[in-house]
Amino acid sequence: MAVAKPTAHFPAFENESGKDLHPTKALIKRLVETYGPSGHEEKIRALIQDEIKGLVDTTRVDALGNLIALKKGAGAGSRKKIMLAAHMDEIGVMVTHIDEKGFLRFASLGGVMPLTLVGHRCLFANGVIGAFGRERKDATANEIEMPRVFIDVGARDAHEMPVEIGAAAGFWREFADLGNRLIAKSMDDRVGCAVLIETLRALKKSPHDLYFVFTTQEEVGTRGATTSAYGIQPDIALAVDVTDTGDTPEGLTMAVALGKGPAIKVKDSGMLAHPGLKNALVATAKENKIPYQLEVLVGGSTDARAMQMTREGVPAGVVSIPTRYVHTPSEMVDFDDAQNTIKLLVKFLSEPIKTE
């Protein structure tokens, strides 16, 4: 008797256009697949500008390219200025040399790890796609050092090269929907941008003046947050970014996992979260039965570091989306974590904020 073979099921490829995806997943797909390495955020900024039309009172772009959107508070009297920052830029590479055979050498834009490159692809602003290769002569399989990695764009020699010195590229991988888990390049921090956009859509009113800032050049030193916070002069600042997890085999010793809710930061290597703000976020999560985790990140920091130290100092904190495989072409998040981060921010911003 013949046994029927099971039908293959490939959720990652059923919604390539994004038409049948959950609206928030479709938004994340649009954001992560858009080009935007540090210092080259024009395309991703234009996309976000379109997404927030009609949701805010004013928008402007400052000298460093930050997109600053203001949603004015409701009611009379003095209002706190709350700055929420998610960075638009992604890690990438920049061409430094073109050899006579048409191979490219490059410098990194942000925390690029050579181990993640070989065999993967990158995308330039003009649409050219390149593959990362490595020098193999006199090298072992475990030797992958950045100076020995190159980019191959298919050029036969330097004369038919489609990119020039100084051209920037980001990783290129398609968005994959695995159900509750989502995989893509540049979840750091396009998932944070998606959370801010969806927070704007869900937030009916707030007693505060809310500055939703989509920052530039975070990956190369939180530069956009530095200048935008100086101009806004916020009373309270919150970064929405990704964080590492400790839930993979022999992974980091870290009490953050996918699927257990947004991570409210206590500390990272660049800042100590304001304890009153951290406690206020925890209280909001508890009152509204929103799952949450406490985050202590040993390496790395966020825009909150820059916002905290602007002018005479600002109470600052971070709400993080747990992410596996950060700074690789396949960063993974849990969709419920993103949804619960939106719920937490909406509840938190809807009421007066007390940080004492």
**Please, are residues 191 and 87 in contact by the beta-carbon 8 Å criterion?**
no
Report pLDDT digits (tens) over 297-336: 999 999 999 999 999 999 999 999 999 999 999 999 999 9
Whole-number pLDDT of residue 78 = 76
92 pLDDT more than 50: yes
**Annotated catalytic residue within 41, 218, 219, 295:** 218
The answer to whether the pTM exceeds 0.85 is yes
How sure is the predictor about 12, in pLDDT bands with cuts at 50, 70 and 90?
very low
Average of per-residue pLDDT across 250-262: 95
DSSP state of 146: G
Q: Which CATH class is domain 16-90+174-350?
A: alpha beta
Which 3 state secondary structure label does DSSP give 29?
Answer: helix
The answer, yes or no, to whether residue 141 has pLDDT greater than 80, is no
pLDDT at 319: 98
- Give catalytic status of residue 218 as yes or no: yes
CA-CA distances (angstroms) from residue 150 to 37, 95, 136, 164, 237? 18, 10, 11, 15, 40
Report pLDDT for 137. 77
Q: 92-171: CATH homologous superfamily?
A: Peptidase M42, domain 2 (2.40.30.40)
Question: What's the angle, vertex CA 51, arms to CA 110 and CA 258, rounded to 5?
Answer: 55
Give me the percent of the chain exceeding a pLDDT of 90: 87
Domain boundaries of the chain, sorted by first residue: 16-90+174-350, 92-171
Interatomic CA distance for residues 91 and 88, integer angstroms: 10
Interaxial angle between packed helices 23-32 and 42-51, expressed in degrees from 0 to 180 and rounded to the nearest 10: 160
Q: Are 258 and 333 in contact (CB under 8 A)?
A: yes
Enumerate the H helices of the chain as residue ranges. 23-32, 42-51, 187-202, 223-232, 275-287, 303-308, 335-350
- What is the model's pLDDT at position 136? 83
Average pLDDT, the chain: 93
